[in-house]
Amino acid sequence: MALPACAARALGPPLQPEREAPARTTCPRRHSRVEAELAASRPGSVAASVRAGPPRGVSRGFNSQPLLDEPLKASSSLAAAARAPLFALLARGRRRRMHDLRRRWDLGSLCRALLTRGLAALGHSLKHVLGAIFSKIFGPLASVGNMDEKSNKLLLALVMLFLFAVIVLQYVCPGTECQLLRLQAFSSPMPDPYRSEDESSARFVPRYNFSRGDLLRKVDFDIKGDDLIVFLHIQKTGGTTFGRHLVRNIQLEQPCECRVGQKKCTCHRPGKRETWLFSRFSTGWSCGLHADWTELTSCVPAVVDGKRDARLRPSRNFHYITILRDPVSRYLSEWRHVQRGATWKASLHVCDGRPPTSEELPSCYTGDDWSGCPLKEFMDCPYNLANNRQVRMLSDLTLVGCYNLSVMPEKQRNKVLLESAKSNLKHMAFFGLTEFQRKTQYLFEKTFNMNFISPFTQYNTTRASSVEINEEIQKHIEGLNFLDMELYSYAKDLFLQRYQFMRQKEHQEARRKRQEQRKFLKGRFLQTHFQSQSQGQSQNLSQNPSQAPNLNANQNVTQNLIPNLTQSLGQNPSPKENRESQKQNPGQEQSDSNTSNGTHDYIGSVEKWR
């Protein structure tokens, strides 16, 4: 216990600590009591003199108070005297460490106390703020009574529970793709999953005029038959991802067998040991690495039916498909791929039965690869096959003398290659665009009547997008790929027109089915209505025989109308049967339309009469 200020001044300066014991600034209560007992037990100490009483000749006043508390008990003094030698025997370093530990303990307790009081103050202020907010919102209810302490605690608990639930949801479902966080599903219909992936409007102004046959791509592909799908894989167009979709993501009666650690999958027809897909992940590079149109059209039939006799070969159809990409992005992606060491040396480039010579197709590098090449060096090579690669791989190279540039002038050669690539692309069974993954999936499903298991994913961040180029370099790349730029513009226009055409056709088909359903329901309603009316008339006829002629006439009309309605409304032929009947009897189309219009007019008049 500390002495009062007056007693300290009267007794003189404080005692100095012992030589071996360090001075203690803050000590726990237990150690303070031990030191006080030791000080009191020493003879001649201040505490002992104060405890003994006032000096001789000084009497206690009436209002005088003792300077210290009551003496400690004898047992405590004995215990302290027994413990004191043990504490004094400790080494100096040990006592210093104990002193540091006590000081840290005091700081920790202080921090905990401050944290507890801060949280309490925060909760108190939050309670007042929420109370003020609820008093403003529920003002009319304030007359009922103020919120008591229990209601405040309940409100605070609800708020804390809500905040905890929000934090848990953020950890469990951080993205916007979580179904729990899609609150728009409760207020608005689901958005169109096939909306333009580049966030632009789904409608566009077409530049080219295509016929209905060019837009309607409906392939009668029977996987159990002999037809074959051939995938033309152009470098750096996303063909690897699309190729994996073909072997791993299609709903089939007999799915492809893909084993772990193997790139190729076994895609057999149901009940046959014969493949239905010719691609990298099913048959491998059977016609060479990244074979082009010229190589595939001459190689695939020989590879598939090469072991059979010519007379026993089936008359199969080869459905060619491919994927295109924006030329600038594809060019930069190929440069980054070559920069990492890719060469595609295994490509055969077979044209007209032979590969090109070194003079016809020189190399751009002298070493084993072209790794680490800068973009300027990549663009400056005049023999770089990355220039206009998509046009070259989709055109028929035999029309221009393959890789022999001396056959015709360069301008004429470019024109022939571009027109050949456009024609082959238009007559392909299917082609997709890397920038429109969901539309590519939709058109493939509608073309081949085959559905994918999971939807395609649009990746907007690629290696090409990470390359920062200025406007001058971009113009230079577009100039090097001017044929690809023209082909991609043509392909994008045709692709989006096909998509719009198929979507409109799908909406019209759904509308036609709804109309047929409504017609059928109307016919059933009229049939039941006329039957109930005829039953009522027969009952009235038994009661009033004088009205028999009129009722018999109405009954005859009703009986004649019911079979006509059931025949015209109940039996709806399929679209295929309608087309066949129109081809066989084209002259009856006008009469049938007049008859149907007359039936609809009659139904409208009957409803108006009702």
User: Worst-scoring range by mean pLDDT, 299-308, 367-376, 502-511?
Assistant: 299-308
How many CB atoms lie under 10 A from the CB of residue 532? 10
CA geometry: angle 215, 216, 222, nearest 5 deg: 140
pLDDT in tens, 320-370: 999 999 999 999 999 999 999 999 989 999 999 999 999 999 999 988 999
Is the pLDDT at 564 greater than 90? The verdict is no
Q: In what order do the strands lie in the sheet with 228-232?
A: 277-278, 228-232, 318-324, 430-433
Written as one letter, the residue type at 178 is: C
Written as one letter, the residue type at 426 is: K
What DSSP string runs through 180-242?
Answer: GG-THHHHSPPPPTTS-TTSS-S-----S---HHHH-------TTSS-EEEEE--TTSSHHHH
At residue 51 the predicted structure's pLDDT band, cuts being 50, 70 and 90, is very low
Q: What is the set of active-site residues? A: 290
Taking the model in full, what pTM does it have?
Answer: 0.59
Separation between Cα atoms, residue 164 and residue 108, nearest integer Å: 28
Q: Of 353, 438, 422, give the one whose Cα is nearest residue 390.
A: 422
Instruction: Give the mean pLDDT of 142-149.
Output: 51
pLDDT in tens, 222-263: 899 999 999 999 999 999 999 999 999 999 999 999 998 888
pLDDT for 383 equals: 93
pLDDT in tens, 61-104: 444 444 444 444 444 444 444 444 444 555 566 666 666 656 65
Structure tokens given for 133: 């907010």
pLDDT for 310 equals: 63
pLDDT in tens, 410-424: 999 999 999 999 999
Paired strand residues for 433: 324
Average pLDDT, the chain: 75
User: Worst-scoring range by mean pLDDT, 41-55, 128-142, 260-274?
Assistant: 41-55
pLDDT for 78 equals: 44
Separation between Cα atoms, residue 36 and residue 17, nearest integer Å: 13
Q: Which residues does 449 contact at the CB level (< 8 Å), separation at least 6?
A: 221
Q: Of 403, 407, 406, 383, give the one whose Cα is nearest residue 393.
A: 403
Is the pLDDT at 577 greater than 60? The verdict is no
